[in-house]
Structure 1
Amino acid sequence: TSGTQSVSPTSAQTYNLSCTGAGGTTSQSVNLAVTAPTTGDIWASKTGMPGMQSMSGAVSINNRVYVIGGNRFSDIPSVYNYEYDPATNTWATKTGMPTARSGAFVATVNNKIYVIGGYGWAGVYYTTNEEYNPATNTWATKTGMPTARAYGGVAVANGKIYAMGGKFYAGTAGYIQTIYAGDITITLTYYPGGSDVIVSSNEEYDPATDTWAIKTSMPVGKTGIVSSSANNKIYVIGGYYQANSSTAPVYYNTRNEEYDPVTNLWTIKADRLTQGTSSNGAVSVNNKIYVIGGTTNEEYDPIANTWTLKASIPTWQWAPIGATVNNKAYIFDLLNSVGYTMEYTP
């Protein structure tokens, strides 16, 4: 005779199977090996980035992540360019960008990286646009953005880059001073007596033509925002706004605004769950957006317009940045002079 029996082992087990028929009874032992299913919503620690920098930009190309620019030595901007390979969990130093900046708008189109705008310390904000080609490890200068600013949101949709929000510094006449910070010598122009100006600008860059276009501004001017794209729409989340004075109150928010590049229109979406700050990063995995900061990890589903709390990041993050490789998110940050790399599997 023959027959079947269904079993659902939760670990490797041995089963004694017997069969009784006209010829008698036979028995046989069968070993069933069980492979634990791959679960999601988990974090893993990886090799920390070699440079001590924060407020950098991160993008992925050809299954590798590039972390570029950022602050070193108490707000001194850097030119550093590091490549991270998740497959080998190793870092490599690449050619640094020509202009030292932090808080720049960093994005990738057609396997090239664009570092746009940014902060140069002591009240200096840039319109600079520099293109990095990982295949040749070289940089090229491109047309600068219309408005000098930094610490805004950046996202890519339909092969174009959108730089949104941020701030610049409105100062008085400056004076020159040279400073020394570790291995870097920088000549700076100081602008005393000025204040930050937070903007709602939305500027579109087309790498194919190296041209800029002014688009519909954000509903509210903000800086310190996070942004990401999903389904060819852009989402600008959190951040803060402040009157144009360094002594005015800072208002953090949970706003979530969707921008449609096709219609050039903004739509208010469901607020994020927790009080926003300027110290967050955002990555898109499988058309869902993950906003990460402190230890909080929130998932936004643009189709359902809903938020879900996910597994907290194990190490507290001050100003994380992130990129996606093979449906996993890689989060980078600097805390207490230690560079962190965390891998998240949704």
Structure 2
Amino acid sequence: MTTDRTAGLLVFEASWTAMASALAALPAHIVVAHADGRLSCDTATATDLLSLVEGALLDSRAWLSDAAPIFHDAIRRAPNLRWVQSASSGFDAPFLRELADRGVAVSRTTVQSLGIAEFVMARLLSLFQREPERHALQAARDWRALPFREIHGTRWLIVGFGTIGRDIAIRAKAFGAEIVGMRRDPSPDPAADRIAHPERLSDELAGADVVVLALPLSDATRHMIDAAALAATKPDAVLINVGRGGLVDHYALIAALDAGRPAHAILDVAPLEPLPADDPLWSHPRVWMTAHASAYGDGLGNRADRFALDNIRRFLVDGTPLNLVGARD
């Protein structure tokens, strides 16, 4: 693609407000979709602005807005749309699947990995170090030492060894943990002590002290952690899910926790989000639940904007954006 302003990039009103100068510098007509349904463009006079659109920026401002359905509709109505930059690290959202089925290329975002990796370490350290009990002792003015569990020497099975899984592995390895990365690609990885194929899930679960799920949800991965998989875990194992809620059969998980295997579950995702107030996961004594917020570090927004702008330039200049996913992913 040439670098003159022939193609159009569709962006949400809030995204334009936040990144106007950077977006205006791109070699494209910036078509702004307003929350009230209007379209505007400062550099084009076409009566049908959507006909100019070949790419779209579906960032978190668009995803999380009350006007998201209006922006989605504008994307649907762009007849020449070829590519969308998504703010999501996954590809299970129905709208993204819809675009892929239409033949539109979608790029996901992986800049969430840094915050997610820090979240995993913080939650596990808090559990191993018995922080809630320490706070209770302080509140009770009880001068008592609590023994704690060390990360050093533990074995971590990280199921899904992409950007997120590797960033978690790098941090856990710095504490002296042994890392088993699980993925289909058998190539060695410097972030792992060894790589295991998903077919070995049950065998690897039996030796893991910490099991981290950091992979997308698909037909092949739905409920991969079921009753049989949970029965294979060590009694003192910790299950951490920062992937998608559907990776785990939560009815089986509650039953397994009640039976004492695994010892604890740290969940940042749920089978239904928002998780209903009466769901037993909220109150289970062996579950630590958060609201799909593991990526929300204070640097996420800037990293996401930088990545999106760089990837948009790649799309506009030579048609080679990064992190492309397809309908079969």
The TM-score with structure 1 as length reference comes to 0.24
- Give the structure, 1 or 2, with the largest relative contact order (CA under 8 Å, sep 6 or more): 2
The TM-score with structure 2 as length reference comes to 0.25
Query: Of Structure 1 and Structure 2, which has the larger fraction of its residues in strand?
Result: 1
